[in-house]
Amino acid sequence: MLDQSQGYVTADGRQIGGVLMEMKDITLRFGGVTAIKDISFDIHEGEIRAIIGPNGAGKSSMLNVISGFYTPQEGEVWYKGAPRPAMKPYEVARMGVARTFQNIALFEGMTVLDNVMTGRLNHMKAGILAQAIWWGKARDEEIANREHVERVIDFLEIQSIRKTPVGRLPYGLKKRVELARALAAEPSLLLLDEPMAGMNVEEKEDMSRFILDVNDEFGTTIALIEHDMGVVMDLSDRVVVMDYGKKIGDGTPDEVRNDQTVIDAYLGVPQE
Amino acid sequence: MLYRTAGQFKTSYKADQALFPIRQDAVLLAIILTFAWVIFPMTASEFAFQTLLIPILIYSLAAMGLNILTGYAGQLSLGTAAFMGVGAYACYKLIEVMDPILAILLSGVFSAGIGVIFGIPSLRIKGFYLAIATLAAQFFLVWLFEKWAWLYNYNASGAIQVPNLQTFGVYVTGPQASSVTQYYVILGIVTLMTVLCINLTRGTLGRTWKATRDMDIAAELIGINLMRSKLTAFAISSYLVGVAGALFVFMWRGAAEPNLFDIPLSFDILFIAIIGGLGSILGNYLGAILIVGLPVVLNTVPEALGLEIKSATVEHYNIMIVGALIVFFLIIEPHGLARLWALIREKLIIWPFPH
Ligand SMILES: Nc1ncnc2c1ncn2[C@@H]1O[C@H](COP(=O)(O)OP(=O)(O)O)[C@@H](O)[C@H]1O
Ligand SMILES: [Mg+2]
């Protein structure tokens, strides 16, 4: 269990839980390039945590460390109060971490429905033989998981495209299907890498609403990377600011917005 | 009107996941099954059994095996014939100790094992390089079939000769077995395998394979163990291919030399899968009908029309047509005949009111 004494109450009065994940002194290098320099921060259960910073700051690399896709040269990732041993990405996913990608990574040859169903693979337990004869547990599981997936599809309002091959979808919808696939996994931690990049204003508003609803209805902890400052300030409870691989700010949107280092390095003039 | 979906509403996800959400599909299948199980065996000539019905079924099964690996899991293989060979040689050994049909079904277990071993490189390499690695398997295994005399019981000829064997008092292999008996055995096995493959490819494992094929990094990050995904594909694919190889020799050719399992056979199977449609079960049948049927048509039709064409010329026409089809499908319709059928079906569903 998490140590809930570390919880806090947000500006809008939501109770946030203890520390779900903690990055401790993470350093990640690619050959001569240091993508992340000695960064520490934590993610509390139930909060929406944003990571911001200019291009190349190391934000995506940080999500990839959380996902287990990159192994940092130094530092530790703590999960639920204990250091996480070295793990393969699929093992991290099975612990309840789901994500979307900066460059959409859907399975283009499959329909929307099948893409979202793949999000539930970790909930599928039937053996190969049972699947081959499509009987008993395999069939029940398929139906139960389909029902769950349909709830996700309703939630994200993509019912009308469920049988469409994703290759035919416009960009904005693809992003939404990717979110659906991640949500289908019922993650305890959801990582979103620039979920609104390349969207128009209306699509951004929809996506913001979905992110808030996910957090609100399912209590899902969310860590997201976003460029649009307005969006970040609206959505997130706390913000980490990165620049050239270093952490230069960490706090509530208001604190970060008024932090002189952050203003100098990134924001330029205070917003609003 | 032929393909009307009006009035057919799905009221549960179970119904929507049914194999035939549209009634006409079920009717069409029933017609095909009636032909396959009743009308063909009752009416077919010896020639039709031996040049069309039996080889089409066996090639379909082999292509289905390859399609699991390449079309569903995205792992290219050029070694199909060699894995058919493993099935055939395993069967040759197994018939000494068990019923021939059981031996055929079990022979696939051996090709599955070998398939997994040769699938290990797929964990590190992809695409073109993997194809080359499977080509190495192809050469190595055919070499082994030649050199390892134990495999063919030290026959002086180096070939395996299929003996007359019975199941429940009926000859099923060897010269004594009738074509219709063999046809039914093959049809039974191929039907069973097809049902299992349809179920596997539409369920959890199928989605795991397709995810691996479409984007392996994303697949791993959403929780797919790529090693397991690829190796199960190699195992199941090689099982099917091995059983097809055993049927190929024991229920059709009657004898086999090592070079029967050489590259040309691998390519025939690959062409069937490509022309039929990668990532489709139905496509394997369509492709096999085309590849097996084309030379028969080229041989018999001009003759029936009173035209005289040399068999060497027929051979050339066959190669040219197949080559043109491959190029056509690779460029214009990578999903093959199965996709063409799907398009026709879609048109029929909305016909005659296309809006
Ligand atoms: N796989 C990689 N190999 C080499 N360099 C990388 C790799 N991934 C990221 N980098 C480098 O690390 C730095 C941070 O990249 P990234 O995390 O993508 O930044 P951001 O997401 O903040 O734009 C960049 O300089 C980038 O070139
Ligand atoms: Mg990035």
Q: Which residue numbers in chain A have pLDDT < 70? A: 1, 266-272
Average pLDDT along chain B: 91
The finding on whether A145 has its CB within 6 A of some atom of ligand 1 is no
The CA–CA distances, whole Å, from B3 to B22, B25, B39, B102, B355 equal 8, 8, 25, 41, 15
Count of beta carbons in the 10 Å neighbourhood of residue A137:
13
Q: What is the pLDDT of residues B131-140, one digit of tens each?
A: 999 999 999 9
Mutational test site, ligand 1, from A26, A29, A33, A36, max ligand atoms within 8 Å of CB: A33
SS3 A76: strand
What is residue A136's predicted lDDT score, i.e. its pLDDT?
84
Q: What pLDDT does B22 receive?
A: 76
Instruction: Flag whether pLDDT at B11 surpasses 80.
Output: no
- Read off the pLDDT of residues B81-115 as tens digits, 9 standing for 90 and up: 999 999 999 999 999 999 999 999 999 999 999 99
Question: In B, which residues are within 8 Å of A150 by CB distance?
Answer: 13
Contact flag B203-A131 (C-beta cutoff 8 Å): yes
Find out whether the beta carbon of A33 lies less than 6 Å from any atom of ligand 1.
yes
User: By the 8 A CB rule, do A68 and A76 touch?
Assistant: no
How confident is the model over A195-244, as pLDDT tens digits? 998 888 899 999 999 999 999 999 999 999 987 778 888 899 999 999 99
ipTM of the complex as predicted: 0.90
Can you give the pLDDT at residue B1? 45
How do residues A119-136 score in pLDDT, each as one tens digit? 999 888 888 999 999 888
* Whether the predicted pLDDT of B2 surpasses 60: no
In single-letter form, the type of residue at position B108 comes to G
Cα A58 to ligand 2 centroid, rounded to whole Å: 7
What is the separation, in whole angstroms, between the first and last Cα of chain A?
Answer: 41
CA of A26 to the centre of ligand 1 (A): 15
What is the H or E stretch that residue A152 is in? helix A137-155
Q: Do A98 and B214 touch (CB under 8 A)?
A: no
Domains of chain B: 46-348 (1.10.3470)
- What is the pLDDT, as a whole number, of residue A269? 47
Name the pLDDT band for B67 (thresholds 50, 70, 90): very high
Task: Provide CATH code, domain A1-96+187-272.
Answer: 3.40.50.300
pTM: 0.91
The pLDDT score that the predictor gives to residue B342 is 87
- Is the CB of A186 inside 8 Å of chain B's CB atoms? no
Sequence spans of domains, chain A: 1-96+187-272, 106-186
A89–B220 CB contact, under 8 Å? yes
pLDDT recorded at residue A268: 55
Q: Is the CB of A39 under 6 A from ligand 1?
A: no
Whether omega before B352 lies within 30 degrees of 0, making that bond cis, reads: yes
Q: What is residue A265's DSSP assignment?
A: I
Assign residue B50 a region (left: φ > 0; alpha: ψ between -120 and 50; beta: otherwise). alpha
Give yes or no for residue A61 CB within 6 A of ligand 1. yes
Cβ–Cβ of B221/A99 closer than 8 Å? Answer: yes
